[in-house]
Amino acid sequence: MTTLDWIFASMSVLAILTGLFFVLFLFLTLGTRRKLKSISTKRPKNKKKRKKIYFMRKRLLAKKKNQRNTMLLFLLCSVLFAGAGAYAVYYQSTNLTTEDSDSIVQGYYLLQDFDSELEKAGKGSESQTKTDGNLRYLSNAMSSFGSKKASTVNTEEGQLTLNRYYNSMKELGTNATNNYTRFYNNPALVEEYRKDIKKVQQYEKKVIELYKVNESALKNKK
């Protein structure tokens, strides 16, 4: 379980417990009110009995006040705990999980590195052995995105956006894995794949915008 899962579970338990105590003190308050109503109807002629009823009524009024305040306190706590639990669920559904966040960061740099290596391959600026090795590694890394699935705690829109991005990364990586030895001194093929990179980056952009990822921080980190 994630930290937010624990928070939600804890808040739910606390909301239920405080809700039960609210109900308990509600019945206690009603019981005290009935007692007050009962003794308020009594009008004994005996002075001693009147005095006894007076102090009894005074104690019951104080008891009723304390019970009512405690009841309201438990009600407030129950609402606050329920609200905190609901917010935890909302926050989790509208923010990237650690796993998805790591995947986005990894994919962001993989696309940049792959584009850079393609440019070198098209120009033949480095040895073919080194270039092919780098392209093979990057292609395999991208194709591994096929095993990634958006966390189900995300909203339906979030899951759809993330899974489209993961699938586009997988397809680009799979295709590149089959052709990594053909890029060297082949600017036409390189240009074709760089266009594919831009298509994947469009899916990436949608994820970044939906989850408000700080792209400037990613660029600076690079």
What pLDDT digit, counting tens, does each position of 12-70 carry?
899 999 999 999 999 999 999 888 888 777 776 677 777 787 888 889 889 999 999 99
Average of pLDDT values for 83-89? 85
- Distance of alpha carbon 32 from alpha carbon 134, whole angstroms: 80
Residue 49's pLDDT is: 77
The alpha carbon torsion through 62, 65, 69, 71 (nearest 10 deg) reads 110
Residue 2's pLDDT is: 66
pLDDT greater than 60 at residue 1: no
- Distance of alpha carbon 90 from alpha carbon 87, whole angstroms: 5
Residue 207's pLDDT is: 95
Instruction: Between 5 and 194, name the one with better pLDDT.
Output: 194
Of 195, 206, 198, 108, residue with least CA distance to 164: 206
- Distance of alpha carbon 61 from alpha carbon 67, whole angstroms: 10
Confidence of residue 201 (pLDDT cuts 50, 70, 90): very high
- Give 159's contacts (C-beta < 8 A, 6+ positions apart): 150, 151, 152
* Residues 151/83, Cβ–Cβ less than 8 Å: no
Cα angle 210, 216, 218; round to 5: 85
Confidence of residue 87 (pLDDT cuts 50, 70, 90): confident
- The single-letter code of the amino acid at 192 is E
Residue 151's pLDDT is: 87
Of 145, 142, 136, residue with least CA distance to 179: 136
